[in-house]
Chain A
Amino acid sequence: GDSVTQMEGPVTLSEEAFLTINCTYTATGYPSLFWYVQYPGEGLQLLLKATKADDKGSNKGFEATYRKETTSFHLEKGSVQVSDSAVYFCALSGSGGSYIPTFGRGTSLIVHP
């Protein structure tokens, strides 16, 4: 079946540091790929998406590129802020025609001033 693997957290950074959160996947067909962010006590919010190979999703300084050859969708940001502290989830959907998305376990990011 489909799966999404994210790097384990927590990831702890100082403000203005460079962020990478790794995400790799296995899936049938050509799924869409997503990054979601969850702040404490809230639901998940879509951060960015990519629907086909080599697409780059971007939002609020975050970027991720859909790499079919390496089955990866790593999240990056050039300079993190304290307000970026949250849990980040990588996910895929549409694989093999399924309506059921597959989520990674989430990576907690803690940014210190």
Chain B
Amino acid sequence: QQQVKQSPQSLIVQKGGISIINCAYENTAFDYFPWYQQFPGKGPALLIAIRPDVSEKKEGRFTISFNKSAKQFSLHIMDSQPGDSATYFCAAVIGGYQKVTFGTGTKLQVIP
């Protein structure tokens, strides 16, 4: 079963625009929500992460918004750049076990 649902599957954004990727989860035992970025031919790498006790976390152009009551979280990429073109995975972790449940991924293309 898919415990973390991610949308959209693909996204095309113009340079300078805002990219938004959404995720929803079901298991309330999840207590850590990382986002991973993956470039073609490479392994995923941690981009940014949030805990459910905060509603927003910002690191540079990347922001996670978290809605605990709705069990939803999203990644916003401000001023999107062609170098941001990659596949993004949301994920959820039950901290004590360190097992990561990944979403299905969003392929982002930023066009000049």
- Tell me, yes or no, whether A binds B: no
Residues of chain B having any CB pair with chain A under 8 Å:
none
A contact set with B: CB distance below 8 Å: none
